[in-house]
Structure 1
């Protein structure tokens, strides 16, 4: 055969030569690889949990009411009150009005005529209509208004009672801001002075996202209204009291392995309180599951930790139902009676603690108990006789009092395991990825043999790129990790690349990290308390961020186990700390003097005593009120945040920064920055931070900061502090009043390339997952050993400008699928700033 091929080749050359001299075309040599990935497909890697990636739902950013919960009426039960938000009243989102000469008064009332003890406030309409007149209220809905689509049907309902002997005619209309109808109006007659529910269906004639719902009455007398509702019939899975279809479908498309609910800070804050009928309903208590089940008109409303009202129309039954509908494991979180999220208190009320423990046992019965049980019976009456098969439950969230929390946690765990020994009971490690609280809680969790520990952190892209190996050193025989909340602190594509890079490390350590969820999940673009977020929406549209696309790619291509692999890459040396110096404040007035940077040879690299003003300094963003006062540089606005000013450009890697700093007034201390780059990267020494309780070195990038070291610290007003920062390459020592305050070494390098390989047992595919978080392509030699593979592989690539975002107007970052030629050994070039998945069929 080789001889025959040679002869054929000669014949072809001769033929070409007979028609003209054409040089032979040699095959282009393969590019020299920058990286190599070596896979051992026959070795046994870690099994990956069936529920590895999930979603975390918290009612933050108006994620429930006005979001995932499909109710179109805002403040439907007139329960918005100043305790929820100082701008609220019982008529928030409602406008009293009359048509055709109608008149009356509209007031919200809390008295013995209420609909239910937990649904206390209702609308009282005193009608004085002439013949033909109508008087009532109009609801503005969420965002720009009530959103309807032509041809869709909407179910209206209201609870009402009247003292008019002949009854009170009621007119229900959906119209635009000018009053033009969007649907054919409904009419009903309210009869009797006891609460009854009235219903009807409206069909939209045209599309609108600026609709209004008006409920008006004719005649005279007193009409009482409560629970005014307008619900689309097209909910997710067609559920009554269901979920907004587009949002639920976007979540379902992720194929989440679990749903963690009902929140984080929402759960454990204000958990010292209980229901006391004599003092009226306690509206600032934590989210408690029994408040959220049963008929919606009998559920409580409550003050939301994030500064608004929550209706509990989306309650525990709906959370369990949604988890089942998307094929995910339900994972509820209950309060541990130790507050976190800035509210550091622990209960001393033994009876209250016992009630919460019993409530948790009752919750498990609600989920798993037979229909013949007390709480399983309630679940059955609500429409789900079959148990939900709850397997995991988390106690508490981000507590800053580790000893107090853990004492309570052990009480919960003991009670749960005694009755339900197969339930996985999850503890936590506090609010940060490191620090004294984190270390103490992990010690307690290990010593007690806890099943699983919930870790949370929100950090810079650089942190995620530098911590891919975080879980490599975790004890394989210790508690498993539930990464319940993580995200890089922005919504740009570079943040998503950093998250993807980090997730390859989660999968590589799947024997330790069993569950993980990006957080938060949802954000209403007009009501934002926290960012970044995975899915954004308004009243009728929704869009996935770049991180949504990356999370979806990982969650839809997990695999059943990891396949051992290793890679080689160009060496990236550590970088010394260079850049400008900076001064800043946070809700505090302070002054600075005698700023000097000296080299180790004694040479002055920068100096300013402000005798000639502050001309060397410039604001990073124009915030605060900076001026030179009595020869010192002073920021005098106690309300201004992040007032950073910068000066100089230190190119040396070994130097000392010294200055004097004095707090004048305000909530915190002062901040001294070094290594400030034009890109926004910096380090700052935060003294008297967190309401003057803690000091820390924070490393910033991309507008966000992560903690390098932290310790308790208080700054006294009126006292001049001597500050010295000694920088030696990547080592920093910090001195406060000539005493060493702390030190750190930041010699971590940012390796932009990361990979992991998993196997899908059902399809027999190897899934090669590569993240290239740099501006250059990564030519890579991939060696699958002796594994025989088919010659083409399916590819999914997400790539683009690292500064790009997906927004309401455009979603440029999208996955692109295709095929590539592969073999047992092949070379592939991964695009700049990309996430690439290769699904390779094995023979």
Structure 2
């Protein structure tokens, strides 16, 4: 019989191993975790944020029973110079009802029976004016209301609480008047009284509780690509994310363009991020821009980098400094006298190219000189291997970075093939921070394979320091990216299958990895073919191009075939041939005649969802990449920087030998990759411990049950809880109607001795929490 023996030998520390990554993507902040219920509260939306936006987006006039209302946005005498827009509303004729309403997010503003909401606004009027603030249903009927008198021609804050007598998830906030008058409004706000931990300007309670339930050891924030995707001037609406713009009074935080094509109010700023980390027991892990934007190919001159370096040093002081320091005092004045105890700081997010490395060096030196205790995180780019990935690691080793941020989104099959990715990494260099990873999908199958992969991460805690799934949150009506861990609308939230796997692992991870011995397991099952065969296709990718001297050589047989020249105008694709060989070459000369990208070569193609592709001048014409697709889900196999120039000839050569792939451009190696075959081990397992418990995790990805004997050294008898995820179809997914369709069940286990037998169900995730 199979046997797993969990020893008392500690192999590596896992003190901060699992955390979460918050990025303002998919309306994760405004319209999501951030508790504000009013959309466009300060009338600052702009076409720069999204072409469909304007200053009155989400606002609509109320003109009932013959009423006449004029509304326009001005910036002539603003309350806030950093948010200069405000509304001028004139009731020309009262009719039955006259005013303006805010439509909120999703289906509207969601209110709940007997729940209270804090309303506030800034207003002024040249003449006294009585207005009514109400929460209305979708038919214009008042749910709850209160009146206020605007008596000053100077900006004045007004606030009160509204309590809803009913549930309504499609409500609006209305501001009306029964008299003909003219007044100005700004920063119209509605917050639940019950935010998470009852924080003012706080978090939506149900989403925050789901995050807290994960028990993360750290939280990475605020991104993501929004960190560096912007201009170099901190005063620009579309600047890179600058943390100093996000603190202080909410009204003084400038509205900005979010790179995911919506508006970012910055109501959820660095102070709130730090405070939320404290509230959920997670260490803060902020990410700062390095003055280099790979999207726009902009960079701060090296001799002008001091402002950006000071931002990093000042952030550490803001988080950890005493009240007698400049930035520590600002934190204290915001209401948090105790330091936030910042330990980690990341510089850059997914940047590649020498421009980033030159600037990272400056940050690293300055931070370590002033704050040697801070653990600094370098970047390895957006792909799991390739030239820039290696450059990132080499730069980290040169500088002595504490961790290196790796990112990858892959097929589940890639994870099965790479479960032992980190087995041979040394323990004496920078550690891996797996800052973004996921398989493409929210099915039970995705979650199951991620669980198997996570056992490999835990078993390599000697080389891996921190791990967090991404993205974290998604508003179902504002999707920028899929998959996501947690889904929500304006009043509901549910965790995906992936969420429950993450929760299981994060709730049951000790401080130390334990050595596990095994005996009797079957050899792993290797899936798929040992060669890459199928159709060969050529594409002009968003460009006009010519291809000639096209040739395919079957190196195994020596057979050579040549093909007619191809010409494409403004894109196009053609099948060249099909090949079934273990070793072959595909060659062509290519020239772009117009356009802004380059070429693609498809090979090993069985259908449109199963293939391998070589990008030449891909992603904004900046790279050469080999990418494998399995069931429509892609995985990068190798990546390097490369751009295609119009009018220049490129001699392209692809060589496939077994599952080894080499590409050449003009005779020079461009990519070297291995498309590893997926492997299904009989059982994936790992163990860790803390002061009270031993945690044993086991994942069975096969479609048959597996029985094993389990021995736990150092305990007298077994008293354990079992948390198990099983019994689901591989395509099962959670949704609002079935939020826990894929979720674990718990049971108890006792045994007189320290050894017991257990049968792991087919395609299951099982965790034993054994009391010491």
- TM-score over 0.5 for the pair: yes
CA contact (8 A) 1:507 1:756 kept: no
- Distance (Å, rounded) in 2 between the aligned partners of 1:406 and 1:591: 36
Tell me which residue corresponds to 1:777: 705
Instruction: Identify unmatched segments of 5+ residues in structure 1.
Output: 1-32, 276-281, 610-630
CA contact (8 A) 2:523 2:682 kept: no
Alignment of 1:288-687 (within 5 A): 288-340=242-294, 342-348=295-301, 350-351=303-304, 353-401=305-353, 403-567=354-518, 568-573=521-526, 575-583=529-537, 584=539, 586-588=541-543, 600-601=556-557, 638=571, 652-654=581-583, 665-677=594-606, 680-687=609-616
Tell me which residue corresponds to 2:732: 804
Post-superposition Cα deviations, 1:40-83, rounded to whole Å, max 9, x if no partner, equal: 5132321212x211111111111000000111110000000111
Post-superposition Cα deviations, 1:141-170, rounded to whole Å, max 9, x if no partner, equal: 101111111111111111001111xx0111
- Distance (Å, rounded) in 1 between the aligned partners of 2:363 and 2:643: 35
* Structure richer in strand, relative to its length: 2
SS in 1 for 2:717: strand
Cα RMSD after superposing both structures:
3.0
Post-superposition Cα deviations, 1:800-832, rounded to whole Å, max 9, x if no partner, equal: 222222222323211111235665444433222
- Distance (Å, rounded) in 2 between the aligned partners of 1:674 and 1:227: 56
The one of 709, 722, 726 equivalent to 1:795 is 722
Change (3 A) 1:129 1:802: same
SS in 2 for 1:456: strand
Residue 591 of structure 1: how far off its partner (Å): 7.5
Further displaced range: 142-151 or 171-180: 171-180
Change (3 A) 1:753 1:70: farther
The one of 8, 11, 14 equivalent to 1:48 is 14
The one of 76, 101, 124 equivalent to 1:138 is 101
For the pair 1:184 / 2:144, whether they are aligned, the reply is yes
Residue 317 of structure 1: how far off its partner (Å): 1.4
CA contact (8 A) 2:556 2:582 kept: no
SS in 1 for 2:770: strand
The one of 213, 221, 229 equivalent to 1:269 is 229
Change (3 A) 1:292 1:722: closer
Further displaced range: 560-569 or 256-265: 560-569
- Distance (Å, rounded) in 2 between the aligned partners of 1:554 and 1:813: 15
CA contact (8 A) 2:700 2:761 kept: yes
SS in 2 for 1:184: strand
- Distance (Å, rounded) in 2 between the aligned partners of 1:644 and 1:796: 50
- Distance (Å, rounded) in 2 between the aligned partners of 1:396 and 1:432: 15
SS in 2 for 1:67: helix
Alignment of 1:109-188 (within 5 A): 109-111=74-76, 113-129=77-93, 134-164=97-127, 167-181=128-142, 183-188=143-148
Change (3 A) 1:744 1:680: same
Residue 711 of structure 1: how far off its partner (Å): 3.5
The one of 214, 218, 228 equivalent to 1:258 is 218
- Distance (Å, rounded) in 1 between the aligned partners of 2:298 and 2:159: 46
- Distance (Å, rounded) in 1 between the aligned partners of 2:671 and 2:195: 56
Tell me which residue corresponds to 1:108: 73
TM-score normalised over the length of structure 1: 0.84
- Distance (Å, rounded) in 1 between the aligned partners of 2:230 and 2:543: 28
CA contact (8 A) 1:493 1:546 kept: yes
Post-superposition Cα deviations, 1:175-225, rounded to whole Å, max 9, x if no partner, equal: 1221122x2221111111110011122111221211111112344453111
- Distance (Å, rounded) in 1 between the aligned partners of 2:417 and 2:86: 55
CA contact (8 A) 1:582 1:676 kept: yes
Post-superposition Cα deviations, 1:3-43, rounded to whole Å, max 9, x if no partner, equal: xxxxxxxxxxxxxxxxxxxxxxxxxxxxxx5xx45435132
Instruction: Identify unmatched segments of 5+ residues in structure 2.
Output: none
Change (3 A) 1:735 1:56: closer
For the pair 1:818 / 2:747, whether they are aligned, the reply is yes
Residue 534 of structure 1: how far off its partner (Å): 0.9
Change (3 A) 1:829 1:397: same
Residue 249 of structure 1: how far off its partner (Å): 0.4
- Distance (Å, rounded) in 1 between the aligned partners of 2:605 and 2:750: 46
Post-superposition Cα deviations, 1:74-109, rounded to whole Å, max 9, x if no partner, equal: 000000011111111000011123234432311111
Residue 287 of structure 1: how far off its partner (Å): 1.9
Change (3 A) 1:109 1:753: farther
Alignment of 1:661-810 (within 5 A): 665-677=594-606, 680-715=609-644, 725-734=654-663, 742-747=671-676, 749-753=678-682, 755-763=684-692, 765-784=693-712, 787-791=714-718, 793-799=720-726, 800-810=728-738
CA contact (8 A) 1:271 1:337 kept: no
Further displaced range: 378-387 or 186-195: 378-387
Residue 717 of structure 1: how far off its partner (Å): 6.1
Post-superposition Cα deviations, 1:711-751, rounded to whole Å, max 9, x if no partner, equal: 34445668897766444432345466888765544455523
CA contact (8 A) 1:37 1:565 kept: no
Residue 633 of structure 1: how far off its partner (Å): 7.8
Tell me which residue corresponds to 1:28: none
Post-superposition Cα deviations, 1:398-448, rounded to whole Å, max 9, x if no partner, equal: 2112x4333333333343334433222222222222222221221122122
Residue 453 of structure 1: how far off its partner (Å): 2.2
Q: How many residue pairs get matched?
A: 764
- Greater C-alpha Rg: 1
CA contact (8 A) 2:253 2:267 kept: yes
- Distance (Å, rounded) in 2 between the aligned partners of 1:603 and 1:452: 49
Further displaced range: 833-842 or 324-333: 833-842
- Distance (Å, rounded) in 1 between the aligned partners of 2:705 and 2:574: 37
- Distance (Å, rounded) in 1 between the aligned partners of 2:432 and 2:655: 37
CA contact (8 A) 2:532 2:656 kept: no
SS in 1 for 2:37: coil
Residue 345 of structure 1: how far off its partner (Å): 2.7
Post-superposition Cα deviations, 1:96-140, rounded to whole Å, max 9, x if no partner, equal: 2323443231111122x101111111111233235x665321111
The one of 162, 166, 172 equivalent to 1:212 is 172
Tell me which residue corresponds to 1:625: none
